[in-house]
Chain A
C-alpha cells in the first residue's frame, strides 16, 4: 500500500493502517530519540510522546510534502523543545552497550576493542554538543540522511547544514583527542 494511502486510512480511523505506520517509523524515531538523549528509558517515553503528537497533527499533513521529512522535523522539534524544557543534558547518557562490538566482527580483537573504545568516547561526547550540532550529526552520520533531506528537516540552507555537521564532527574529534590523550 502506498504511504499516502496508509495516512489517509489512519485519518479514517483504521487501526491496521496506524499499526503499519508505527511499524514503518517507530524504530527510526526511537533511534533518533535514543541517540539524541542517550537514555533508553527516556527515549521510549519521548517516542511515545512524539507519536501522540503525530496522531494529533496527522490531519494537518500536506500530502504534497515528503512524509518522512515531515515526521523527522516534528521529531527534531519535539526533542529539542523537550531538551530545553527539562535540561536533560545534566543527566548521564546510558553506558555504551558493549554488545555492539560483536557487530564489528571483520576486524581483529585488538582493533575491535580500540573501535569499541572510540565509539564509547564518541557516544559520551555527543552530550558535549549543542542541541543543533548534535541533531545535525545524528541526522547525517547516525541516520544517514543526505544534506538535501537534512536541509528540509532542519529548515536551514544547505551551506549552514554542511558547516554545522563539520563543526559537530570537529568538536567530537577534539573530545576524542582529549580522551585518548588521557588514556594513553
Chain B
C-alpha cells in the first residue's frame, strides 16, 4: 500500500467501513511507515476532538428575536408586501439600469458632452426619418401618375377594339 492510498482510506478505516483485508493492509502500513503511523494517531485525535465539541445554547434574546419574526413581518406586510413579489424584480432591475444611465447624463461633469451627443444623434435620426418620409411621398406620387397613365392607355385601347367588332 502506498502512503497516498493510506491517506485516502483514513476516514473509512476510522469509521469501520473497510473490509478485513484492507484493514490489515492499513495496519501493516501504519506499523511499517513511521510518518503514516503518526498521521493515523493525529487523525484519530482530530476526529475525537471534532466529535467532542459540545452544542452551545442560543441566548434567550436570540430566541425572543426568532419568535418575533412573524409579528415584525405582519407589521410591514400591508404596506410593502406587494413590493416583494418576484414578478416585479425585472421591473426593479430595468428601473435601476434606467436611473444609473440617467445619473451618468445628469450628475457627471462630462454630462454636457453626453447630452450634446444625444441631441446630435436625435437630430440626425429625426433628419433621416424626414428624408425617408419625403422619399416615400415622391414614390407615392410616381405610383399615382403611373396608375393614371395605365388607366388612360386602357381607355384609349377599349374604343379601338369596339370599332373593330362593329366592322
A40-B66 contact given A122-B50, A176-B46, A177-B42, CB 8 Å threshold: no
Are B47 and A27 closer than 8 Å at their CB atoms? no
Are B7 and A51 closer than 8 Å at their CB atoms? no
The smallest C-beta distance from B8 to any residue of chain A, in angstroms, reads 7
The smallest C-beta distance from B3 to any residue of chain A, in angstroms, reads 12
Q: Report, as a range, how many residues of chain A touch the other chain.
A: 35 or more
The smallest C-beta distance from A123 to any residue of chain B, in angstroms, reads 7
Are B39 and A173 closer than 8 Å at their CB atoms? yes
**Residue B162, interface by CB 8 Å:** no
**Residue A166, interface by CB 8 Å:** yes
Are B42 and A173 closer than 8 Å at their CB atoms? yes
The B29-62 residues at the A interface (CB cut-off 8 A) are 38-39, 42-43, 45-59, 61-62
A103 proximity list for chain B (CB < 8 A): 54
Question: Which of A14-22, A62-70, A73-81, A85-93 lies at the interface with chain B?
Answer: A14-22
What separation, in Å, do the CA atoms of A57 and B49 have in the docked complex?
36
**Residue A119, interface by CB 8 Å:** yes
Interface residues of chain A: helix, strand, loop or mixed (majority): helix
Nearest CB in chain B to that of A166: its residue: B11
Are B69 and A100 closer than 8 Å at their CB atoms? no
The A127-184 residues at the B interface (CB cut-off 8 A) are 137, 141-142, 144, 162-163, 165-166, 169-170, 172-173, 176-177
Residues of chain B having any CB pair with chain A under 8 Å: 7-8, 10-12, 38-39, 42-43, 45-59, 61-63, 65-67, 69-71, 73-74, 84
18 sampled A-B residue pairs with Cβ under 8 A:
A15-B70, A18-B67, A22-B63, A26-B58, A26-B62, A26-B66, A30-B62, A40-B56, A44-B62, A48-B62, A51-B69, A100-B53, A123-B53, A162-B12, A163-B8, A166-B11, A176-B46, A177-B39
Pairs of residues from A and B, 8 with the lowest C-beta to C-beta distance, nearest first: A141-B50, A166-B11, A30-B58, A173-B42, A122-B49, A173-B46, A119-B49, A22-B66
Given A18-B67, A142-B50; 16 other pairs, CB 8 A cutoff: A13-B74, A18-B69, A22-B63, A26-B63, A30-B62, A31-B55, A31-B56, A48-B69, A51-B66, A55-B73, A100-B53, A118-B45, A121-B49, A169-B43, A170-B43, A176-B46
Residues of chain A having any CB pair with chain B under 8 Å: 13, 15, 18-19, 22-23, 26-27, 30-31, 34-35, 40, 44, 47-48, 51-52, 55-56, 100, 103-104, 115, 118-119, 121-123, 137, 141-142, 144, 162-163, 165-166, 169-170, 172-173, 176-177
